[in-house]
Structure formats: C-alpha cells, structure tokens
Amino acid sequence: MELAILGAEFPIVDLRVARQTTRHARHQIHVDSGKHAGFGRLNIVIALQVDAATDILKKKAQRIDEVMAAGAKQLLARAENSRSLEVESVLPRVRATVEKYLLKHDGDAGADAVAAFIESMHADDLCLAIACQRGDQAAWSDLVEGYGATVRSAARSASPNEEMAEDLAQSIWAELHGLKTQEDGRPSGKLAYYSGSGSLGGWLRAVVGQLAIDRHRRESRLVHTEEDAEFDRLSRDAGIERNTGDGFSSDANPEEALATHLASVAVEKALTRALTDLDDEDRLLVKLYYFDGLRLREAGAVLGFHEATASRRLTRIHSDVRKRVEEQLMNEHGWTKSEASRSLSQVAAVLQTDVESLLQAPQPSLVQSAAPEGESAPI
Amino acid sequence: MPNDSEIDVLLRRHANVASEMENSEHLDADELNAFAEGALPMAARSRYVSHLADCGDCRRAVTQLTAASGRVEPERVPASESITESWWQKLGALLAPPVLRYAAFAAVLIAVVGIGFAVWQKSHKAPAGLIAENKRSSNAEELEARQPQETTTRGAAASESPAIAKAFTQSTPAPFSDQKKSESSNDNPPSPPKPVDALARNDAPSVAAGQAAAPSNNAAAPSYAPPPSTESVRVESETREREQQTISDLHGPRRGESVDKYKTMDDRLRAGDVAKGRDEDRGRADAKQPVSKEEEARNEGGAARKRSEPRTATLLGANTEARQETPKSDKAGPPEEAETRSVGGRKFTRQGNSWVDVKLKSSMSIKTIARGTDDFQKLDSGLRSIAQQFSAPVVIVWKGKAYRIQ
C-alpha cells in the first residue's frame, strides 16, 4: 500500500508491479520516506525491490512448472494404461487443468498444492481422452466399449423417449470425435475439454446433459417464437394473478387484511434481502432445498455434506434468516424486536393457514367423482 | 427437518414467488462434473458455489450429476458449526423435545438396570448373610464340642462319634482359655463376615473334627488360592484360631445375645449345614479343587434346599462322620436358654456345670470362696445376692476382681 501511494506520486514506478511486489515480496520491502529524502534515491530503492520481487515470481513460476512436469510424469506412471503417451503430450493438458481449477482461483497456491492437485487427477481417464484425441483407434474402441452404456443411460435420462435418446447418444459420439479437423489433420472433438479433474464417466454424463439442454433450448426457442404473443399474454395474466393473489384472504376485517398484507410485503422484502446476504454455501443449500425441492440428503450430496450435516446447517440458516429478517424489519420500519417477531409469526401463520386450506380444498372433479361414495378425496 | 417452522413457511412461499436471475454464463461440462464429484480445490469450489447459488440451470445439472455419481458423504461436524452456536443455543438444543425423548428413554433404561442390579445384589447378599450367621451360630455349638480337643487326639476325634465330644462338653469344665475361644467365636457382629473371619470360623469345626474335616478348609479357601495340603491346612487353621482367640480377647463376651438372636435361624439352617458338608465332602474331598465363593454360595443354597432331608440321612466315610458332629452336639446339648442367665444386671454363661460372668478376663485372678463360709459372708451383699441365685458354682466379676462361689 505504501508503495502504491508512492507509485502514484512517482510515475517511474509501475503501479501494477508495485502491487505485486507488495504481495509477494512484502518481507523484503520497507520504504521509509523519512530516511530516503531524495526522490532519486527512493526510485532506486523501489526499482531494486521490484526486481527482487520479479525474481521471486519467476522462481515461483519456474518451480510450479517443474512440479507440473514432474506431476505429468508421475501421472503417466500412475496410469494403468498410459496409451504410450509421452510427457510432452500430457503436460499441456495438465498445465491447463491446474491453471483452470487452481491457479486461476488461488494466486497464492504453492508447489505443494499444485502437486497435490495433479495427484488427485484421473490418470487413466485423461490418458484415454488424450489418446482418443490423438486418433488412437484402440483408445476409441476402449472408450466406446467402456462408456457406451454410460452415454446411453445419460441420454435416456435427458430424453423424453427412446428414439430421442438414441439420437442424442449418436450425437454425443459425433461431438466427441469431432466433425471438424484441426490444422494437423486430427479431429477436433469435445474430448479436448476433458481436464481429468473429474471422472471421464461423469464428464460424459455432463456433456450429454448439456447437449440435451442445448437441444431443448433450440426447440423451445422455435416454439416460443411462434407462440410468443399468446405466451406473453398468459404470462402477464398469471403475473397479475400472482401479484394480487399473494395468499392473503380478503374475507377478514379489511383493516386487518391490509395490515397483514403490508406486513407480508415487508417480511418478503426483508427475507429477500436476508437470503441475498447469506453466505454462498448457505444460499445454495436454501436454493437446493426450497427452490429445487431436493431432499436434505440430495441437497447435502451436492454440497458434499452428509444429510445430518445439511440438516444442522439448515437449522442454523433458519436462525440466521430469522435474525436478519427481524433486524431488517426493526431498522427499516422502526419496529421493536417483539413487534418484528410478532409480524413474522403472523405472516407465517397466515401463509401456513392458506397452504393448509389449499391442500385440504378438494378439486371439483374429484368431489364429483367421490360424491357417490360420500367422501371427499383430499389431494 | 428444519425446526423453525415459521421461517420454513416463509422460505417455501418465497421460493414460489421469487424468480432467479438469468445467467448468461454457465459452467462447462467439466466444471459441473468436477464440482459434482467434489474434485475441486477449495478456492475454485467457492467460486462455483457462488455461481450455483444464483444459477438454476447449472444447479440442476450439478444435482443430476451428483445423483448419477452416487456420491455419499460421511457425516462430519464442521468446527465452524459449533463455534457459531452460543451456549444458550446449545443448552436449548439439549433441552429440546427431540433430544429429551431420547434422554427420557435413557433415564428409564438406566433406572431399570440400576434396580435390576440392586435386586440382583440383594438376592446374592441375602444367602451370604445367612451363611455367615449360620456358621456363627453353628460354631457356637461346635466350639463347645471342640473344647475338650486339648485332651483328645485328632485320630480319636476322627474315629470317635461326635457323641464323645458332647460328653466331654458336659462333663469336663473348660479351662478359661478355652472358654474364651468359645466366646470369641460367638462374639461377632451381625454384619456380613469378611473373608478372613469366615475362614477362621470355618476352621473351627475343622479343628474339632481333626484331619478328617480338612477338605472343608479347602472349600473355604479363596478360589484363587491353590489347594493346600491337608497338614498345612490343619496347621494354618490352628494358627488362625489362635489369632482369632487373641483378637476376641479384646471384646466382651456377648454369647447369650448372639445365641438368642440366631437360635431360630440355627435350627432352620443346621440341617443345611450338614448337607453342605456332605456336598463338599462328596464333591471335593478327593478332588481338592479350589472352590470359588460363588460355587460355595451355590452349595450353601443347595444345602438350604436340602434341609428338609432327614437328619438321619446316611453319612458316608469318616469325613462326613466328623462333619456330622455339629448337628449331633446340637441335638444332644442343653437348650439354648440354659446356656445364658442374666442375674442382677449381669450375664453368665454356662461352662460345664458352672456359670461364668461374661466380664471375666483371662488376666484376672480368681478367688475361690465356698458358700456359707465366713469369707462368703464378708463379701458385698450385691455379690452375695447374685451368688445366691445360683445353685451351681459361679464365677462373678465384682469390682474388677473375680470370685468363684461354689
């Protein structure tokens, strides 16, 4: 920071370099303006320190390169079938993966972290993908034989019928192989994007899923274009109904209904804000559980939690959300804590009542069909 | 399940009415798969969590990939979870109904186990107490029969019938030292006997019976002790007896009390004692195996069950014959009431044909005075009045001195 300020005053110092210097060579740099009265001398000191910092960065990058080369070598040695690949053909993929998942997000990651990450990569899968990419027919045969079932299964899951699933699976193989060719004549397929950080089977499922979504979007876009006007009209109507029908009945005392409605709006606003302020992981859990309707076990699995851990986490989130909503209500509306708490409870009670009444209300068709037996069928 | 139902309802409603922002950028297949398989470094994972929290499409893709991979996470409690909770939240969680229902179940379980243990302990203690009392009471009888052992060889004791011992008891006045032995044997608190005491008491009849009764000593030895030889047991038992005598000298004789107290029990259990001896002799006389306390207790229990057997049951071998001494002496001896008298606030026990003050100590010198003599008349009136209550010779302790009035 000190250097940045000085750099602003003296253009000779590049601010970007100065910041890097402060971050990476903080222990070496100490600029005391009191001691260095002359500007020229100060510039010399800074330039020297920048050189030192650059050296450190270079050494670190060199060290990481060495670690990655060693990691690629070790990855080949670790693979049961290295497909006769050489380190030179694997190293670029390893380097790209390390950059993408480690160095891009963590600038301070050291050689040990890099080595550990390479150690966790799927050696056999990566070798198979690289060999396929290089046009190794034996590797292709192994890929189709080993992962044909996976691709078919994923295609069935993502398709409404068997025919579309088969079509999707065939498309996948074409995408993997690559319809275009690279400059060197090799096919340019999607396999080039497999990093080796996850399993090849999982990656294939993800590719199938994305391809299915892309197809769906394309088809939807066509349909949307044709029925755009009608859909928008329906959407607006639904929006109007949703905005007005916010779950609060107007059968009760109008003043009370209005007060409840206002409280509901205030609580909803505070709740939105509270969710936004939540920690990313907590917000993701809330979305998975409430928005996507997952069970706690499933939501926990996405986040890498056990069900019990997810349950504890959700309980804590409830506590946090309540606290944040109440604080929000108190700050924005000047309510006391008891008033905020009472409003929250009141809104929740009304919502609960409405949900229960909705669940208990029989559908007319079912009532009619159940009428001869003298019973109303709950939905 | 989430426990704040109000927030739960609000969040459910919010999920229905809120809409998520459309993201233009999505995670690629490799990123989605790496996240779903948990293969990402921490920093990258945090970035992707942030994206997934706001991108429904990617979230759904990750959800499907996670389900397909069958990833199951082990349960673990992150430290941050516990740190963020305050003490009252923890206390509240402890006292929450879902926890209390388990606590209540655990409390009931502990109570049941505790009661069961107490009942079990009681049921095991009761026979032990009876055994101890039985031994104590029966020893009272046996020691009377044992008194003349000084003049009887062990070989003779083993071969003669217990009736001989009874005859000695009745005809020969016991020396005071022997008298102390008998008193000390009866002077025991009613509390359950310690193993050493039980051993000492058990030794008494064995001495009276001589070598023939040695197996019973084996039976009384702790289970972890190796079976001693017959001779060594005999010597050891005599040694213990002497020690017991020394110890008993420190106590005042209260034989009458103990006899009165346990007389009824004596009658009931005496037959059992015989049966016990019989069992032990039959089972262990030859084998000489160390016997555990539990086994002994079982034998005692068996003996108690067998007490309805006729006392005239056939006795096998010399060992059992010697063991039979106890009931025989009981059957032939004088009634318990005749053994103790209380005169003038003092207690006297019968020793042969004479009565001895329980306060008599071995260190006292005894002055013999005949009734009707001048010396007798010179005695204190209190002493004389006591002496006159007895027709037989009586030893009275009066003002720290012992007088034998005959």
Through-space distance between the first and last CA atoms of chain B, rounded to whole angstroms:
97
Handedness of CA B223, B229, B232, B233 (dihedral sign): positive
The phi and psi torsions of A199 (rounded to 5 degrees) equal -75, 155
Taking CB atoms and an 8 Å cutoff, what residues of chain B touch A118? none
Indicate yes or no: CB of A322 within 8 angstroms of CB of B32. no
The reported pLDDT for the residue numbered A180 is 64
Taking CB atoms and an 8 Å cutoff, what residues of chain B touch A301? 66-67, 71-73
**pLDDT per residue over A73-87, tens digit each?**
999 999 999 999 999
What's CA B106's distance to the chain center, in Å?
A: 29
Percentage of residues of chain A with pLDDT beyond 90: 42
Mean pLDDT of chain A: 79
The phi and psi torsions of B342 (rounded to 5 degrees) equal -120, 115
The reported pLDDT for the residue numbered A128 is 95
To the nearest whole Å, the CA of A368 is away from the closest chain B CA by 30
Tell me whether strands B401-405 and B394-398 are parallel, antiparallel or unpaired.
Answer: antiparallel
Percentage of residues of chain A with pLDDT beyond 70: 70
Indicate yes or no: CB of A102 within 8 angstroms of CB of B41. yes
Q: For residue B96, give the amino acid letter.
A: A
Alpha carbon distance B406, B402 (integer Å): 13
pLDDT average, residue stretch A257-272: 85
Residue A370 pLDDT level (bands cut at 50, 70, 90) = very low
State whether residue A216 sits within 8 Å of chain B by CB.
no
pLDDT average, residue stretch B83-104: 67
**If you search the block for the tokens 């190794």, which residue do you land on?**
A136
DSSP string, A255-295: HHHHHHHHHHHHHHHHHHHHHHHS-HHHHHHHIIIIIS---
Q: For residue B327, give the amino acid letter.
A: P
To the nearest whole Å, the CA of A87 is away from the closest chain B CA by 22
Which residues lie below 8 Å from residue B94, measured CB to CB, with a gap of 6+?
Answer: none
Six-digit token string for B156 = 């003779």
Q: With a cut of 0.90, is the ipTM above it?
A: no
Taking CB atoms and an 8 Å cutoff, what residues of chain A touch B53? 280-281, 283-284, 287
Alpha carbon distance B31, A195 (integer Å): 9
Alpha carbon distance B193, B220 (integer Å): 13
A327 vs B351, residue with greater confidence: A327
State whether residue A167 sits within 8 Å of chain B by CB.
no
Q: Three-state SS for B324? A: coil
User: Which of A50-64, A324-338, B169-183 is least confident?
Assistant: B169-183
Which range is most confident: A66-70, B107-111, B148-152, B280-284?
A66-70
172-191 of A, contacting B, C-beta below 8 A: 190
Percentage of residues of chain B with pLDDT beyond 90: 10
The reported pLDDT for the residue numbered B246 is 44
H-only helix segments in A120-251: 123-133, 137-158, 162-177, 200-226, 228-244
**pLDDT per residue over B206-241, tens digit each?**
444 444 444 444 444 344 444 444 444 454 555 455
Handedness of CA B129, B130, B133, B138 (dihedral sign): negative
- With b for 16 or more beta-carbon neighbours within 10 A and e for fewer, the B21-34 pattern comes to eeeeeebbbbbbbb
Indicate yes or no: CB of A316 within 8 angstroms of CB of B38. no
The reported pLDDT for the residue numbered B381 is 82
Percentage of residues of chain B with pLDDT beyond 70: 39
Indicate yes or no: CB of A319 within 8 angstroms of CB of B89. yes
